[in-house]
A and B are shown apart, each in its own frame.
Chain A
Amino acid sequence: MNCDEADRLMDAYLDGVLELTRQIEIERHLSRCHACQSLAQQCQEFRSFFSANAPTYKAPPELRARILAMVPDEKVKRVRFWREPWVYATAAAAVVLLTLCVALTILFPDNGKEFSSVAVLDHSRSLAANHLVDVASADLGVVRPWLTAKLDFSPPVVDLPGSGYLLVGGRIDVIRNRPVAAVVYEQKGDLVTLFCWPVNRDLVSNGNYLIQGYHVCTWSNAQCNYIAVSKLDSRELDQFADLFRDHLQSNPY
């Protein structure tokens, strides 16, 4: 380093803001050059004198407020959000999720709604035609054998004692070209038709639907698909489904 360079870097050196390599160079030069050494000393003395005697000013509050108001807030973040790595991670995750959903829909179609639409049609037709049941009885011993005799399976027909739901009877209906059991329950004038058929080709997915003013609840277990249709609200219908499932669990059919 020569004297010109040392002179140029002197203030930065005394400020302590030089890069380490430059700092070492200037210190090496100072140790060899008396002229620059005394310049450094003069500068240092002037600095000491200046900081001891110069008035110090504090930034007025209005300046602080103005500068704070200038600081870019969330707006800048929003404008430049695409620079953030998490945006790409989220986008990638969304693509994966979407692909998965599409794949699942293709592999396991949500058939609950299709079946439900047919069930609602059957239910409303039974009401309109005043043909609620083929066998009207609150007696399991009557309804169950009757249905079993007409179908190729034995549907679970249950009593739900203490629940307020009473067995009205049963009939045979058709869902997707398949004869199914339709068991009708009543609670304070509201009817619930519970369609039931064995799981063989189709497994009905779990779901809750509102179709043509009827609430529908669908589910399945290892043996049967179930569709409950009613004017009851969805919460009550869910309760009914829970009661039914609990009853089957504790009294294996």
Chain B
Amino acid sequence: MGGRSHFEEHFLPHLDAAYNLARWIVGTDQDAQGVVQEAYLRAMQGLEGFRGGKGRAWLMTIVRNTAYSWIRKNHNVSTKSRAETPPK
């Protein structure tokens, strides 16, 4: 597991969905791009821990968490939501 082909196969197809989700949460294109990029970086670093299965859900969770962290850091607002809770 790992490597370029694996990443391209499992995570790149969800880029639009990831961007869409980030855009809904953070609002602007610039911010959404930053969030998605950071989320993909985290996903890559955590790729070793990913053991197949629902790659999309795993990635979306990372995007969501990254987006909320981003909002907390940049706007200093409290965000409490069910969506923050990891699915598992």
Contact = CB atoms under 8 A, between A and B. Distances in A.
A57 B19 contact: yes
Interface string B38-56: 0011001000000000100
Interface residues of B, number: 29
Given A59-B15, A64-B15, A80 B40 contact: no
Contact of A71 (B8, B23, B85, B86): B8
Contact of B85 (A8, A62, A63): A8
B83 A11 contact: yes
B36 A17 contact: no
Interface string A42-62: 000000000000101111101
B19 A59 contact: yes
Contact of B4 (A18, A57, A64, A71): A71
Contacts of A58: 16, 19-20
B37 A17 contact: no
A11 B82 contact: yes
Interface string A134-165: 00000000000000000000000000000000
A73 B15 CA distance: 19
A116 B33 CA distance: 73
Interface residues of A, number: 31
Which residue among A10, A54, A59 has the maximum number of chain B CB atoms within 10 Å of its CB? A59
B70 interface: no
Contact of B40 (A12, A22, A70, A76): A70
B36 A59 contact: yes
15 contacts: A9-B85, A15-B87, A17-B54, A18-B88, A19-B88, A56-B20, A58-B16, A58-B20, A66-B33, A67-B15, A67-B36, A71-B8, A72-B2, A72-B3, A72-B7
